[in-house]
Amino acid sequence: AKESGRNNFQFYRPEMTKHALEQMQMKTSLRQAIDNEEFIIHYQPQVDIATDTLVGIEALLRWQHPSKGLLTPKKFISLAEETGMILEIDDWVMHTTMKQVSKWYHDGLDPGKLALNISMRHLEAPNFIYRIQNTMDSYGFKPEWLELEITEGHMMKNAMEIINKLKQVSKLGINISIDDFGTGYSSLSLLKRLPINRLKIDKSFIEDIPEDEEDLTIINSIIALAKSLNLKVIAEGVETIEQINFLKSKKCKYVQGHYYFYPMSADELQEILLTNNE
């Protein structure tokens, strides 16, 4: 509930200033973070629930902040997007992960597909395709190892341009999935025109399984929709056995979430890949 009263004015102003100041400091330190490479990647496995096998890994960005500790993207991604710094950050992520994943493949390990989160700003950049191609070439990274996760967010605004770009991506042999599916605004007709391979059911629909009837209905329709469009489905944010059982009964083949794995460092993931290889 919003408190309104005579104290609002006095209370609000210093807060605003504090917020503005914090934003400014954050902007400066984000700039330094890029220059000093203060970022690291955590990887979270994606699992085939029928066989309990690891089929892919999502790269999740972390900022090792000099004084605030390890920060998740919630604390800095929107600022990075507003300032355009996300282009450099996503570029760093692409280089770091492709280099790492290529090395794993060349060492005989099998991390499955690498899923990368691509912000709209990055996708819209004129040299986006060139940058992906170039980075893959530098590390001997094969396009079939890659899956791009994009959100429905503002897709409608630039539909033609985005469809064309994703078609080029798809032609390279790269997979594309729609992230946070069900929370955005993409229309069914747009979905049909996009060259996508997979829908990722947003975790907000998963968290209240099996209590929330509405969520169960939504999940059912997403799975039916995917089937009719010949798309795969993955559920994110899966934490409990009840959720796994429900998803299994609905023939949702892939999941990602704390039930199986938390996001982890490259070293920790490598241990798992080595064990899988034995």
Question: What is the contact surface with ligand C2E in residues (CB under 6 A)?
Answer: 44, 59-61, 72-74, 77, 86, 90, 93, 117, 119, 149, 179-180, 203, 236-239, 257-258, 263
Beta carbons within 10 angstroms of residue 123's beta carbon:
19
Task: Give the one entry of Ca ion, ligand C2E, none that residue 258 binds, where binding means its C-beta sits below a cut-off of 5 to 8 angstroms depending on kind.
Answer: ligand C2E
d(CA 136, CA 98): 7
Burial 93-114 (b: 16+ CB within 10 A, else e): bbebbbebbbebbeeebebbbb
Name which of 93 and 226 has its Cβ closer to ligand C2E. Answer: 93
Indicate the residue among 193 and 240 with the shorter CB distance to ligand C2E: 240
Nearest to 266 by CA among 132, 102, 90: 102
Rounded to the nearest whole angstrom, what is the least distance from the CB of residue 62 to ligand C2E in the complex? Answer: 7
242 binds, among Ca ion, ligand C2E, none (CB under 5 to 8 A by kind): none
Amino acid found at 62: R
DSSP reduced 3-state for 200: strand
Contacts of 128 (CB under 8 A, 6+ apart): 122, 165
Binding mask 100-119 for Ca ion (x = CB under 5 A): -----------------x--
- Binding to Ca ion by residue 149, rule CB under 5 A? yes
When CB distances are held under 5 to 8 angstroms depending on the partner's kind, the choice from ligand C2E, Ca ion, none that residue 146 binds is none
Residue 49 interacts with, from Ca ion, ligand C2E, none (CB under 5-8 Å by kind): none
Question: How many other C-beta atoms are found inside a 10 Å radius of the C-beta of residue 197?
Answer: 17
Q: How far is the CB of 206 from Ca ion (least distance, A)?
A: 8
**Which residues is 147 bridged to in the sheet?**
115, 175
Partner whose footprint covers residue 95, from ligand C2E, Ca ion, none (CB < 5 to 8 Å by kind): none
Neighbours of 59 (CB within 10 A): 22
Nearer to Ca ion by Cβ, of 2 and 74: the residue is 74
Interacting residues toward Ca ion by CB under 5 A? 117, 149, 179-180, 208, 215
